[in-house]
Chains A and B, each alone.
Chain A
Amino acid sequence: MNTQVEDPEKLAAFEDRIARGEKIEPNDWMPAEYRKQLIRMIEQHAHSEIVGALPEGTWITRAPNFRRKLALIAKVQDEIGHGQLLYSAAETLGKTREQMLEDLINGKSKYSNVFNYPAKTWADIAVIGFLVDGAAIVNQVINSKGSYGPYCRALERICYEESFHLKQGHDNVVYLATGTPKQRAILQDAINRWYRPLLHFFGPSDKASVHSEKLMKWKIKLASNDDMRNQFLDQYVPKILELGLTFPDPNLRKNDDGIWEFSDPNWDEFFEVIKGNGPCNAERIAVRKYAEEAGRWVRQALLNPSDKYVTPLA
């Protein structure tokens, strides 16, 4: 962690304010490390929304009926909108949206690993809509109680819209689960493939990390990775099991103390995917880069050279 020395008086006032439950706003004094960590986190979240829409977007033309197609179009539009809201929140901290988009393409900043896995069949869209969005909501609801005002406001709006994603995802899962044997089979196959990335979603165990302690004190991070993962399993495992479907893990069970146990999900794979070696990393970045290059002439045509950029207010 950054060891930059901050003015102790200002730092104390800042930490008191957070301890009292007040929000920090863009023009308030904040430690450099707070700003840096927030930019990293919000930017990564924004990229995840944009990249997450890519595998879903390509299924719009192959949706099985008109109702599903309408829902998927709406969901994908929401995800891009969420990306925009989050870029705006990060932008209030002093990094421009253009720089963030640039850093996504050049690999300097990351996005959620879960979006580096392929959506092979329509059942993947159901599982993404239900379980990946479910996991994201667990994370976002917790983070919306954080200390940075613009991020909290963006998350509140996002959570409200994500609840539709979750419901339509559940609806989709239930229809496949109660459909033909073929439909059940592709759904079970999708669950089997997404199980491990979903366990990876909240990151490795971080209980003992000093890094986490400071982020928790500043209310940038509000729950440990393990706690969030446990909450997710608690909410969603029963909803899959009640449909007579299974998870590909004989050790998945809830202990009497409410803690879920599961087999080691192979964290080496997790770190390989972060490094860029997942099944879809190259494709996701290439598509994003294509959009950037192919759309440049439009953005340039729109540009007004006399405009002076200022950081947004809230």
Chain B
Amino acid sequence: METLDPRIQRLDLKKLADGETHTNSHLVTYEVFHQEKRGKQPTHVGIVHASTPEIALMYAKEQYSRRGKTANLWVVKTSEVYTFASEDEDVFETTPEKTFRDPAFYKVRDRIEAYRLKNNQ
């Protein structure tokens, strides 16, 4: 093969290019969590493919901590993560309606002012 690249000239491309390819077996995936600094919550950033947690951590380091600050990385096998079915999203629908859980729900200033007015304070 004609090539301009010295590295490629050194490869014995012909030999292997004539062989047949085989689909690889799948490596499982690990979900990766990145913690920026001590004290911060680790955040999900993506996945890596690996056969062991140790290799997953090594790939996670290459893939998700090339820039900026990192305190730690966590990896969890995808199959070990449990989630709600996406069509069950409606179970969370009424939460924003529960305003009695919010501090802003409790407003007493009007009542205090009315009381003071009534009692000439």
User: How far is the CB of A118 from the nearest CB of chain B, in Å?
Assistant: 5
Contact (Cβ within 8 A) B26 A313? no
Report which residue of A62, A88, A106, A153 has the largest number of chain B beta carbons within 10 angstroms of its beta carbon: A88
A292 to B46, CA, bound (A): 24
A57 to B5, CA, bound (A): 10
Closest to B28 in A: A307
Contact (Cβ within 8 A) A302 B1? no
A154 to B23, CA, bound (A): 26
Closest to B48 in A: A84
User: How far is the CB of A69 from the nearest CB of chain B, in Å?
Assistant: 14
Closest to A84 in B: B63
Contact (Cβ within 8 A) B86 A96? no
Q: Is the C-beta of B73 less than 8 angstroms from some C-beta in chain A? A: no
- B residues near A25, Cβ cutoff 8 Å: 86
User: How far is the CB of A103 from the nearest CB of chain B, in Å?
Assistant: 10
Q: Is the C-beta of A58 less than 8 angstroms from some C-beta in chain B? A: yes
Q: How many residues of chain A are within 8 Å of chain B by beta carbon? A: 54
Q: How many residues of chain B are within 8 Å of chain A by beta carbon? A: 43
Q: Is the C-beta of A286 less than 8 angstroms from some C-beta in chain B? A: yes
User: How far is the CB of A220 from the nearest CB of chain B, in Å?
Assistant: 20
Closest to A105 in B: B21
Binding site for B on A (CB under 8 A): 25, 27-29, 55, 57-58, 61-62, 74, 77-78, 81, 84-85, 88, 91, 96-99, 101-102, 105-106, 118-120, 153-154, 161, 282-283, 286-287, 289-290, 292-294, 296, 299-300, 302-304, 307-314
Binding site for A on B (CB under 8 A): 1-8, 11, 13, 16-17, 19, 21-29, 31, 44, 46-52, 55, 62-63, 66-67, 78-79, 81, 83, 85-87
Return 9 A-B CB contacts under 8 Å, by A number: A97-B26, A98-B23, A283-B2, A293-B16, A293-B21, A294-B16, A299-B27, A304-B51, A312-B29
Q: Can you list the 3 inter-chain pairs with the closest CB atoms, starting with the nearest?
A: A58-B5, A27-B86, A309-B26
